[in-house]
Amino acid sequence: MKKARTKASVGGDAVATGLAKIGLVLRHQAWQAGETSGLTPTQSQVLAVVLASPEGWLGVSEVARQLAVTQPTASDAITALERKKLVVRDRAGHDARVVRVRVTTEGRRRSRESAQWPDALLKAIDELDPVERGVFVKGLTKMIRSLQESGRISTVRMCATCTYFRPHQHPGAQAPHHCAYVDAPLRDADLRLDCQEHELAGEDVRPKLWQVFIKGGPSGEAVSPGAWPAMPTKSRGIRS
Ligand code: SF4
C-alpha cells in the first residue's frame, strides 16, 4: 500500500522545489555575469570570501572550507585568479609555511561588478511585504543553521550566532530583537545572513541564543541583559 504523505513532507517538497528554481536563476545569473567579467562562479566566490575576511587575507585551505569545495578546486581557482592579476599569494610574516591569498585593487573592482544581484530576483523580493520578508528570513536562518550543523556549509555570519545578538529583547514590539553592535532594535526582516560585523558567540552561549530566538523570551517579558553571560556591546554602524 502506498504510504500516505504527511502534511510536513508535502510542504517540504514545495519549499525544496521553490528553492531549486530560485537556485537555477542564481546559477544562470552567475554564469551570465561570468561571461561579462571573465570569472567563473567559483572564482567570484573566492574573491568574495577573501574580501570578507577580517584580516584581508585567507589561506588556501580556509578558502576551500568556506566555499565547501576541495582544496585542489580552491587552488585551481586561485591560480586562475593569480594569472588574471586579481589575487596575489605571499607568505605570512609570522609563519613562512602559511601562504596568504590577497585580493588586488583590480580584483576588488571585478568582485564588486560580479556581486550584483539580478534585477529579476530583486523585483521578485519586492513582491513580498515586510511581514512575509521577516518570515522568509527567519525560515532561511533556520535552514542555514541546520545545513551548518550537518557540515554542508561553513560558518555563516548571521545574527542567530552572533555575540552581539539579543533575541526578543523587546517582546511585543515590531522590532523584537536587538543588535548590541549598533545598539538598535531589529525586526525579523532586518536579521543578517552575511554581516561583516558578525562575531561568533561562544559555544556555551550559542544554544541559548538559538533557543530564545526560536521560542521567544519568557511569556511577554524581555530577556534581561543580565540573563546573558558577559557579551560585548558596541555602538557603531554596520557595513553593508
Ligand atoms: S553585528 Fe551583525 S550579525 Fe551581529 S547582531 Fe548585529 S547585525 Fe546581527
Residue located via cell numbers 572564482: 43
- Residue-wise pLDDT for 10-52, tens only, equals 678 899 999 999 988 888 888 887 777 788 889 988 998 899 8
Instruction: Give the pLDDT mean for 119-145.
Output: 91
Q: Is-contact 61 75, C-beta < 8 A?
A: no
Spans of all domains in the chain: 25-114, 128-227
pLDDT of residue 183: 92
Q: In this structure, are residues 138 and 191 in contact, taking their beta carbons and an 8 Å threshold?
A: yes
Q: Would the CB of 213 count as within 6 Å of ligand 1? A: no
What is the CATH T-level fold of the domain 25-114, as seen in this structure? Arc Repressor Mutant, subunit A (1.10.10)
Q: Which residue has the higher pLDDT, 25 or 225?
A: 25
* pLDDT > 80? residue 9: no
| Any atom of ligand 1 within 6 Å of the Cβ of 137 | no
**Ligand 1 contacts CB of residue 178 (under 6 A):** no
Q: Ligand 1: distance of its center to the CA of 194 in Å?
A: 9
Question: From the CA of 165, how far away is ligand 1's center (Å)?
Answer: 6
Do the Cβ atoms of 185 and 173 come closer than 8 Å? yes
Confidence of residue 148 (pLDDT cuts 50, 70, 90): confident
The rounded distance, in Å, linking the Cα atoms of 205 and 195 is 19
The answer to whether residue 147 scores a pLDDT higher than 80 is yes
Which ipTM was obtained for this model?
A: 0.99
Residue 1's pLDDT is what?
Answer: 47
State whether the beta carbon of 179 lies less than 6 angstroms from ligand 1: yes
Top mutation candidate among 156, 181, 228, 240 for ligand 1, by most atoms within 8 Å of CB: 181
